[in-house]
Structure 1
Amino acid sequence: MQTIKHETQTPVLVVGAGPAGLIAALQLATNGTPCILAERNLETTRWPKMDITNCRSMEILRRLGIADGLRDVGVPSHWSFNVLFSTGLGGTETMPKWDLPSPDGWRQRIKETNDGSMPREPYQRCSQAIFEAWLKPRIQANPLIESHFGWKLDTLTEYNDYVESEIIDQDGCRHFIKSKYVIGCDGAGSRVRRAVGIKLKGDPAPGAMWLIHFKSRNLERLRSQGQFWHIFFTTGHVLIAQNEKDTWTMHTPIEIGVSVEDLDPKEAIYKGLGAEHAPYQINIEEILVTSVWRPTICLAEKYISPGGRVFLAGDSAHQNIPTGGYGMNTAVGDSFDIGWKLSAVLKEYAGPSLLTSYEEERQPVGARNIERSGVHMNIHATYVQWCRNAPGVITSASPTGQQLRQSLAQLVHTHDGENKDHGIELGYRYNSAVIAFTEIDTHEPMWNEREFVPSTWPGSRAPHVFLHDGETSIFDLFGTGSEFTLVDFTPGARFIKIFDLILRRRGVPCKLLNLVDENHAREIWERDAVLVRPDDHVAWRSPVSITAAGDVDPDRILDVVLGLGFHEANKV
């Protein structure tokens, strides 16, 4: 049988349709850029994988117009994110708990704490299996996304002006796609990454886990120690409530290389739930899927190919230990970032150096998040090892048992940053060649892992604040798609007047937002004028010492933030 060949062209080829690929394709389309999305599997994942979309990712999804839709299919917003620690569901020992509020509780806190330190959106619980299945048909219905499931990348060759990719579909037909750019979102074993010769640095963590995804409506027994999102058992087992109704995931520690083929997953669930005590039986209606996985920490040496036309996003660029939920959330940030930048360059109002900034900005975020996921994992590894070193003590009524429980409680209460470290999630600052600093920007505000410190320091995520009516979010007034936003607090819109003509002449999409008499927002935003990028990060802000808006040179500022020309130390 003769092989059939098809040839086609597209501005951007996205390889892989996990969360990173789906978001990348949607971001391109939202910015008016057509793309082809190719995924080797016919169906979306059956594995739960990620189960939290953090506050920053929800802000990004809001920009893409899908935040409310995700909440509709995710866990209802009144359920808490509480994390329990347990010696086993059959035990009666007093153990610590992390109180993590529900999205409804977060919304109330956001409204009451209008000081710029809060996110625009609460976090959201939703299994990746639900997320992908929900988003896939929306991607397929988008006229700017030509999506193909069952298409596997075979070869990829980068040339000076384009990339040629050879893809094989499920019928064996070969498709030759010529694109200006490629985004590799094809996971840990990325063929895109290997095709352009980029290596990973890092290794798997010690040990392995057996994932068992199952159905059970036995809520009375499963919640015998209270409602929870996660239960961390002192034996190293972890139970996750996926939907607060009937779907759960048990992670069971196993030795590396151990075969689970002859093991009964139901018995493994009972043993995991019983932990330090006897196996704890529940009614299990169905075992959905099982798999063995190893926690892995690694980072791609480069996020961009040698020729500058292939970009890595998501697991192809970084792999995290799941603690903290940084993996998928970092991927959302990657895809949103490279999507708007590619669109800006393809529309010819930005320069190629804007694309170079993708690696400059996102690789440090990936490295920091990987490191933090390891910090969180080490907390759990510490108390599990304590219990292994002293069998039976954690459940003992003896003074030694009481002391071990107190030590465990002190450890997890002192180191409770997992899903509370909002400095990590919201507070990352970009320090690339496309961030424009003024001469006065010499004292960077403090940064810490735990708290988001509101600031318009260039490269920071702009502070979220409600305006004086108490209802209008400043984020909701930002430009849409690939639009920048110039926020001008001055009477008479002095900065807007000098930017407007130049923005229109250069074809740069920008919403001009004059917020007169918004004194509270002006105080938090620190400057009379702030230029915000399409990703909510500050590109430039007016100097404190400026005497007249006319002293600002918009052309020089735009040259920097659009990657068209740089000035010494990015000062403008």
Structure 2
Amino acid sequence: MLKVSIEPTQETENSPTNGHKFPSNASVLVVGAGPVGLVTAFQLAKRGIRTILVERNLETTKWPKMDITNVRSMELLDRLGLADDLRKQGNRSWQFMSQKNKPLTHPIGVPGDYSLDCLFSTGLSDGGQLVAKWDLESPDEYRERIKKTNDGTMPRQPYQRCSQSIFEAWMKPIVEAEPLVACFFGVKFEFLRELDDAVESTLCDSVTDEQYVVSTKYVLGCDGASSRVRRSLEIPLTGGPIPMTNFLVHFRSRDLERLHKQGQFWHIFFCNGGVIISQNEKDIWTVHMPIPPDTNTELLDPYEVVFKVLGGSSGRYKIDIDEILVTSAWTGHICVAEHYRSNRGRVFLAGDAAHQNIPLGGYGMNTGLGDAFDIGWKLAAVLNGHGGEELLNSYEIERHPVADRNVHMSGVHGMVHRTYVEWVHGEGQGTVISTDEKGESLRDRIRSHVLTNDGENKYLGVEMGYRNFPSPIVLQGTDDQETPEWNERNYIPSTSPGARAPHVFLRDGDTSIHDLLGFDYSLVDFTTGGNFASRFKDAASHLGIPIATVHLPNEQHARDLWERDVVLVRPDLHVAWRLNKGVTSLSDDATKDILLTAVGKK
């Protein structure tokens, strides 16, 4: 491995950033310790790669970004052994100091028996009423549905409600405990210089302004929407801000009786454009109020903002507020970086550094976690010696189209909400709460509109149905020429090369085929003799490629859903190759070529 050197630009002793010595043999610098950077560093460590993780802030975020870890992200976290622990956060509490320096017990997350129901309301004040509801089952209910629907269309894991502030606080000590990750909070990335065989990154202590130079083989920019890594590479974004600004108020309130006036909720979308989000089903909430872009937010009273949002079109609705936690103004962006990789190939972008979208649909962080998993296993394979350059080339080829579609879909979901808000403002705010025929007609129109366009957080085709093809590490057979069926709402099970291999419970009713797959590549063989599994295992051993073999000769239901007798699956559960129909044997050379292509060496 390339030696890592960190040299202060001026002499210093006992620098706050250097309380522990930087490792001298790290291969990767991960910039940014949000969810994407934390998961990337964790996966690299689990695959044996020594990593430096730097974060400009001294602590994890207190901003209530992200509401949900979706089903695909939960599958990937499960691959890393993290999914069950994330779910446990819903039943844990921690102590923290409030802004008033009082110790408070704070629920970590949301227990699995709470629904994700979304309400549409004209307001909670007198005269306001519930217009419609999106019924989104609890994770516990979703898990039961997964057990009962064993046709390949379901995810292996249900979704999980979890704020980004909770996600980061949970992941930070997990990553810090990894011996192969050196974490440095309060260290800013300034710029980089990419060489043929290394990247020199200039870092700066957030407190003392002392500068350091870090030399690593690769740099991963997971440093958010204003990414300095992306700016260092001069990679432009396609797209830009949307014409809408919101003022956010994050607050504590135990006034459940008044907040739940129209029922328990995850979100309430008020018909005039305001939103409230339940963060933990107990006492943490966030409201968003649309404001003109030129609003002087210093003049906004956060208490009054909460009361105004909750009142909707029906007037101010006062609740008891224990504490205002955070306020900010934000403008949504819909854009994607033109490239995810530097010209010399040693720097990569992931998460918001590579793509940005509005929160609706929950695609932002979840797309970022997909990036993190993808670049993590690929880069580790290259550094560990069994992966080739085409693995790294495949990162942008496979992930860029996913971001394009997900960013587009967030805009589609946003238009659903903008449409009824424009109706309300066009008719006049009083119309939507009026009891006359015109008011009832408008509410019926809104109800029909949102119930017809209810795909937000329901589009499994978007979340799980993306196909990494064409790709230099995916092999298409002679009988795989037709593009498999896809629609945005439903995941259609397929082992078409590049697709996510379907989850299916085996005959025992409890074991998923996903549970049997190895940490790296897996060869699933449904034939009676298992000769393909043996051949691939021998070839992989000879080539130094880590592979698990799964022989399932008596699992006809799984075989039918997986469509072929033999399927090669990548670490991310996507199919790298499958046997053509009717083929009963492969030569040693053919087996070797398949493996070398799948690991990017051919």
User: What TM-score results when the alignment is normalised by the length of structure 2?
Assistant: 0.92
8 Å contact from structure 1 (residues 45, 129) kept in 2? yes
1:143 to 164, 170, 179: 179
Residues 400-442 of structure 1: per-residue CA shift (max 9 Å, x gap): 1111111111111111100000100010000111111111111
Q: Please state whether the residue corresponding to 2:583 is helix, strand or coil.
A: coil
**Aligned residue for 1:3?**
10
The structure 1 segments of at least 4 consecutive aligned residues displaced by more than 6 Å after TM superposition are none
Q: Which residue of 2 aligns with 1:55?
A: 71
Q: Residue 490 of structure 2 aligns to which amino acid in structure 1?
A: E
1:545 Cα deviation after fit: 2.3
Q: 1:336 to 1:2 in 2, by over 3 A?
A: closer
Q: Which residue does the alignment assign to 1:428?
A: 466
Q: What is the aligned partner in structure 1 of residue 161 from structure 2?
A: 125
Q: Distance in 2 between matches of 1:451 and 1:465?
A: 16
CA positional deviation for 1:155 = 2.0
- Give the conservation status (yes or no) of the 8 Å contact 1:3–1:172: no
Q: Whole-Å Cα distance in 1 between the matches of residues 575 and 462 of structure 2?
A: 17
Alpha-carbon distance between aligned partners in 2 of 1:160 and 1:548, rounded to the nearest angstrom: 43
Partners of 1:68 and 1:524 in 2: how far apart?
27
Asked whether the 8 Å contact 1:4–1:174 carries over to 2, the reply is: no
Confirm whether residue 297 of structure 1 aligns to residue 334 of structure 2: yes
The code of the aligned residue for 1:325 comes to G
Q: Which residue of 2 aligns with 1:215?
A: 252
Counterpart of 1:542 in structure 2: which amino acid?
Answer: L
Cα deviation per residue 1:514-556 (whole Å; 9 max; x = unaligned)? 0120011000001111000000000000111213344881111
Are residues 1:401 and 2:439 paired? yes
Following TM superposition, by how much is the alpha carbon of 1:66 offset from its aligned partner in structure 2, in angstroms? 1.1
The corresponding residue for 1:458 is 497
Name the CA distance, whole Å, in 1 between partners of 2:40 and 2:570.
17
Aligned to 2:41: 25
The CA distance in 2 between the partners of 1:420 and 1:51, in whole Å, is: 14
Does structure 2 retain, via aligned residues, the 8 Å contact 1:9–1:177?
no
State the shift of 1:92 in Å.
4.6
Q: In 2, are the aligned partners of 1:71 and 1:77 still within 8 Å (CA)?
A: yes
What is the 5 A alignment of 1:5-404? 8-73=24-89, 74-90=109-125, 91-169=127-205, 170-391=207-428, 392-404=430-442
SS across alignment from 2:44? helix
Q: From 485, 488, 491, give the equivalent of 2:528.
A: 491
Distance in 1 separating the partners of 2:397 and 2:323? 46
Q: What's the secondary structure of 1:294's corresponding residue?
A: strand
Deviation at 1:558, TM superposition (A): 1.5
Deviations along 1:312-331, whole A, 9 cap, x unmatched?
00000000110001000000
Structure 1: segments with no counterpart, 5+ residues: 566-572
Q: For 1:373 and 1:263, locate their aligned partners in 2 and report how far apart those are by CA, in whole Å.
A: 28
Match of 2:106 in 1: none
Instruction: Please give the alpha-carbon distance, in whole angstroms, between the structure 1 residues aligned to 2:392 and 2:402.
Output: 16
C-alpha separation in 1, matches of 2:136 and 2:25: 48
CA distance in 2, matches of 1:387, 1:408: 9
What letter corresponds to residue 379 of structure 1 in structure 2? V
Deviation at 1:378, TM superposition (A): 0.4
Deviation, 1:174, is 2.5
What is the DSSP-based 3-state SS (H/G/I as helix, E as strand, rest coil) of the residue aligned with 1:194? helix
Tell which deviates more after alignment, 397-406 or 358-367: 397-406
More displaced stretch, 430-439 vs 220-229: 430-439
Please state if 1:529 is matched with 2:566.
yes
Shift of the alpha carbon at 1:349? 1.2
Structure 2 distance, partners of 1:562, 1:548, is 22
Match for 1:134: what amino acid?
W
- Displacement of 1:94 in angstroms is 4.6
In 1, Cα distance between equivalents of 2:229 and 2:509: 48
Alignment partners' CA distance in 2, 1:399 and 1:214: 38
| 1:106 partner letter | Y
Q: Secondary structure at the match of 1:449?
A: coil
Residues 524 and 568 of structure 2 are in contact (CA less than 8 Å); yes or no, is this contact kept in structure 1?
yes
For residue 176 of structure 1, report the CA deviation from its aligned partner: 1.6
Residue 570 of structure 1: aligned partner: none
Distance 2:416 2:538 in 1: 55
Amino acid at match of 2:10: T
Q: Report the Cα distance in structure 1 between the residues aligned to 2:132 and 2:557, rounded to whole angstroms.
A: 40
**Which shows bigger deviation, 546-555 or 99-108?**
546-555
User: What is the deviation of 1:445?
Assistant: 1.7
- Write the distance in 1 (CA, Å) between the matches of 2:250 and 2:131: 26
Moved more, 90-99 or 228-237: 90-99
Does structure 1 conserve the Cα–Cα contact (< 8 Å) formed by 2:360 and 2:414? yes
Residues 123 and 310 of structure 2 are in contact (CA less than 8 Å); yes or no, is this contact kept in structure 1? yes
Q: CA deviation at 1:171?
A: 3.0
CA RMSD for the aligned pairs?
1.4
Extract unaligned runs of 5+ from structure 2: 1-7, 13-17, 90-108
Aligned equivalents of 1:529, 1:279: Cα separation in 2: 63
Give the deviation of 1:559 after TM superposition. 2.2
Partner amino acid, structure 2, of 1:65: G
Secondary structure in structure 2 of the residue aligned to 1:207: strand
Note the C-alpha offset of 1:243.
0.3
Shift of 1:474: 1.0
Q: 1:398 to 1:187 in 2, by over 3 A?
A: same
Aligned with 1:231: secondary structure?
Answer: strand
Deviations 1:206-244 (A, max 9, x none): 120001000000000000000000000011000000000
Q: Relative to structure 1, is the Cα distance of residues 2 and 366 closer, same or farther in structure 2, using a 3 angstrom cutoff? A: closer
Please list the CA deviations of residues 365-405 of structure 1 after superposition, one character each: whole Å capped at 9, or x if unmatched.
Answer: 00100000000000100000000011111111211111111
**What amino acid does structure 2 have at the position aligned with 1:88?**
G
By how many angstroms is 1:343 displaced?
0.6
C-alpha distance in structure 2 between counterparts of 1:40 and 1:331, whole Å: 19
Summarize deviations over 1:485-510 as a string: whole Å, max 9, x none. Answer: 10001112121122121100111000
Q: TM-score, normalised by structure 1?
A: 0.97
Q: Which amino acid aligns with 1:95?
A: V
Contact 1:110–1:120 (CA<8 Å) still a contact in 2?
yes
SS in 2 for 1:295: strand
